Structure 1
């Protein structure tokens, strides 16, 4: 059974950062072949033109692969000039990551281990 994780970005360049992370994950799909990665848009509000990118949804079929995912996310984050704030939603758990790398990895693993 697949588990779902949603990734969101915050800040002025949230949509650009979300697209960058999506592209990074798609490049790593050979290593992340246990994942279904989708970029989703939210419906435009009245008066807005076009869709706005809202989140990346991951359907993960093997919980044993979480460390590889965390490493991929960590590698991407290190490439960013200003490390963006990443919100990770897994079940009833939401983690907002904006701290140093060691705390980043620990917070993600705690969120992914927290099962409903």
Structure 2
């Protein structure tokens, strides 16, 4: 089970609340700096579709991790868990997984849900 059927999987991290952009920037920086993820996972920032007119630039809407091998999910899961433990996010973080196999998605959501604590909830 090392390759994905559709060729890739997308895991989208979103946050809610007044500190959501701060949380997403922190998560993005953490994942982008994780050497164990380099070359396995592409991590990108997703900008808001319609930013407020008074802003200097678009706000941060989500962090997207794109994987081509299921084996990369384990390291992403560990990195996310380490971020949660060190950062203790104040905003609710939700996780949306897109892949060809619905059973695989359900299992991954369960795994990410097990990493959660009372400070936020994957969804």
Asked if these proteins are the same fold (TM beyond 0.5), I'd say yes
Aligned pairs for 1:75-86 within 5 A: 75-86=82-93
Q: Runs of at least 4 residues of structure 1 off by over 3 A?
A: 45-48, 81-84
Pick one of 31, 36, 39 that aligns with 1:31.
Answer: 36
Question: Given that residues 41 and 53 in structure 1 are in contact (C-alpha distance below 8 angstroms), is that contact kept between their aligned partners in structure 2?
Answer: yes
Give the TM-score normalised by the residue count of structure 2: 0.68
5+ residue gaps, structure 2, are 1-6
- Rounded to whole Å, the distance in 1 between the matches of 2:31 and 2:42 is 10
Pick one of 83, 91, 95 that aligns with 1:88.
Answer: 95
2:114 maps to 1:103: yes
Pick one of 47, 50, 73 that aligns with 1:41.
Answer: 47
Q: Deviations over 1:40-83 (max 9, x none)?
A: 10133564423110011111011012121111001001112445
Name the count of aligned residue pairs.
Answer: 102
Aligned pairs for 1:58-73 within 5 A: 58-73=65-80
Shifted more, 79-88 versus 52-61: the winner is 79-88
Partner of 1:114: none
Which one scores higher on RCO, CA 8 angstroms, separation ≥ 6? 2
Q: Secondary structure at the match of 1:44?
A: coil
Higher strand share: 1
